[in-house]
Amino acid sequence: MNLTPTVRRIAVLALAALLAACQDAPPVAPPAQTAVAPGGGQDRVAGWFQQASPAVLALGGTVFADHDEVANRLVFGVEHAAAIPGVERALARLGIPSSAYTVQVTAPIHQVATLRDRFRPTRGGTQIHFSQYLCTMGFNVTFNGGRSFITNSHCTKTQGGTEGTKYYQPTSFVDPTVIATEAADRQYFQGGACPQGRKCRYSDAARAAYSSSVSSTRGAIAKTTGANNKSLTVGGTFTVTAQDNTTTRFSIGTTVNKVGRTTGWSQGKVTNTCVNTNVSGTNITQLCQTFVSAGVGAGDSGSPVFRVTSGDNVTLVGILWGGSSDGKLFVFSPLKQIQQELGAVTATK
C-alpha cells in the first residue's frame, strides 16, 4: 500500500508510542526527602543526640536512644510511662526543646541465648560436648557433698564403666575449659532379668564431677520460649523444687516434659510404663523404661525429664536417652533407677 509522506510520519509516531507503552517504565528516582527541622538543622539535632543519649540511658526504665535522621528527630524508648517525666527533665536540663524528640513506651530488650550457647553457671537442658559428640546436660546434683551433673551413659567414651570422659560446654572449640569429668558409670550386667545374649541396666545414666573452677546452679533447667515449638531460645528457667525418688511405673496419660539441645522443650503424655527396651543396633536392653508421646531429636540424649507442678516449678522424674526414628516419641529412665545405679543425689534448688 502506498502512503503519502505525511501519513507515513503519523504511522511511525503511532508505532513508536505503541512500543513505548509496551515497555517497562524506566526507573524514576524518588523525590528527595526534606528533613523536618523541629529544633534546628541535621547537625544541630545530631549534636543534641550526642548529649542526650548518655544522659537518658543512665536513667532507670529507659530502653533505647535513637537519632531518626529521616524525621530529623530524637526518639527515646522507655519500659513504662512512669519513666517519661524523668527523660523529659533530663532533656530540658540539656536545653533540648520538646519539639525535637519523642518518648515512647516499648518492650525492654533482652540478650538472646540458645540451648547451644555457653552458660556459667551451668544449668540443665543445655549442650555439652565430649570426644567427637554432642549431648545434653541433664541436671546438676550434689553427690556426697560434691557438685556433679547427670547425663547419659552413652554420652561417655564407653557406655558402661567409668573411664574419665572429659566434658565441655557448649563445645571445646568455644571454650576449652574442662567443665567436668566422668566419675560414675555403672557396668552393664548379664543374666537374671537380662535377656540371653544381651547386657542390661535400669538406667542409661552417668555422673560427671565438676571442675572446681566451673560454677553450676543446682535445680536450674533452661526454659525455652514454649513447649513443642522447637525453639532453642532460652526465655527463662525451670526450677527443680522436688524430685521423684520412688516412681518406676508412671500412670498412662501423665504429662511430662523435657528440654534438650536439639528440639528444645517438648511436652507430652506417658504412653507406656516400665517397658523393657532393646536399643537398636546394639546388644543393650534398658529395663523398665518409660515412653512419652513428645518430640525428640539426635543430641537430645541426656535431657532432664520433669513434671510441671506450678508456674516454672518442676518435679524431676528422670533422664531422656532415646526416641523413635520419626522423632515423635521419647524414652526416659526414671530417677529412682538412676539413683539405684549411681547413688543418691540431691537435684533440687
The torsion of the CA quartet 320, 322, 324, 325, rounded to 10 degrees, works out to 130
Q: Rg of the chain's alpha carbons, rounded to an integer?
A: 32
- Letter for the amino acid at 210? Y
CA distances from 334 to 27, 39, 195, 274 (A): 68, 68, 21, 9
Same fold: 42-105 with 113-342: no
- Please list the alpha-helical segments (H only) found in 112-270: none
Mean pLDDT (whole number) for 193-209: 94
Give the residue with greater pLDDT, 299 vs 22.
Answer: 299
Q: Where are the extended beta strands (E) located within 12-143?
A: 62-68, 73-78, 101-105, 113-114, 122-124, 127-130, 133-136, 139-143
Is the previous residue joined to 121 through a cis bond, with omega within 30 degrees of 0? Answer: yes
Single-letter amino acid code for the residue at 255: T
Please determine, for residue 25, whether its predicted confidence score (pLDDT) is greater than 80.
no
Please state, for a pLDDT cut of 90, what percent of the chain lies above it.
72
User: Is residue 66 scored above 80 in pLDDT?
Assistant: yes
- CATH architecture designation of domain 42-105: 2-Layer Sandwich (3.30)
**Residue 10 CB-half CA count within 13 A:** 5
Phi, psi of 43 (to 5 degrees): -60, -40
Q: Specify which residues 239 forms β-bridges with.
A: 220, 313
Percent of the chain with pLDDT over 70: 87
Q: Locate the domains of the chain by residue range.
A: 42-105, 113-342
Q: Residue 17: is its pLDDT beyond 60?
A: no
Q: What is the mean pLDDT of residues 91-100?
A: 96
Question: Residues 273-318: pLDDT tens digits?
Answer: 888 898 888 889 888 999 999 999 999 999 999 999 999 999 999 9
Q: What is the mean pLDDT of the chain?
A: 87
Q: What is the pLDDT of residue 195?
A: 84
Backbone phi and psi for residue 74, each to the nearest 5 degrees, phi listed first: -90, 140
- Whole-angstrom distance, CA of residue 248 vs CA of residue 270: 12
Per mean pLDDT, which of 44-53, 193-202, 234-243 is the most reliable? 234-243
Q: For residue 89, give the H/E element and its range.
A: helix 84-93
Contacts of 218 (CB under 8 A, 6+ apart): 140, 141, 142, 147, 240, 346, 347, 348, 349
What's the pLDDT at 278?
A: 85
pLDDT at 24: 31
Report the chain's terminal Cα–Cα distance, integer Å. Answer: 99
- Find the mean pLDDT for residues 9-16: 33
The x, y and z cell numbers of residue 113, run together, are 541465648
Are 218 and 348 in contact by the 8 Å Cβ rule? The answer is yes
pLDDT at 40: 59
Task: Specify the length of the chain in residues.
Answer: 349
- Which one, of 232, 241, 230, lies nearest residue 312 by Cα? 241
Residue reference for cell 532453642: 232
Give CA–CA dist 317/321, Å, rounded.
Answer: 13
CATH code 2.40.10.10 for 113-342: yes
CA-nearest of 217, 299, 197 to 258 is: 299
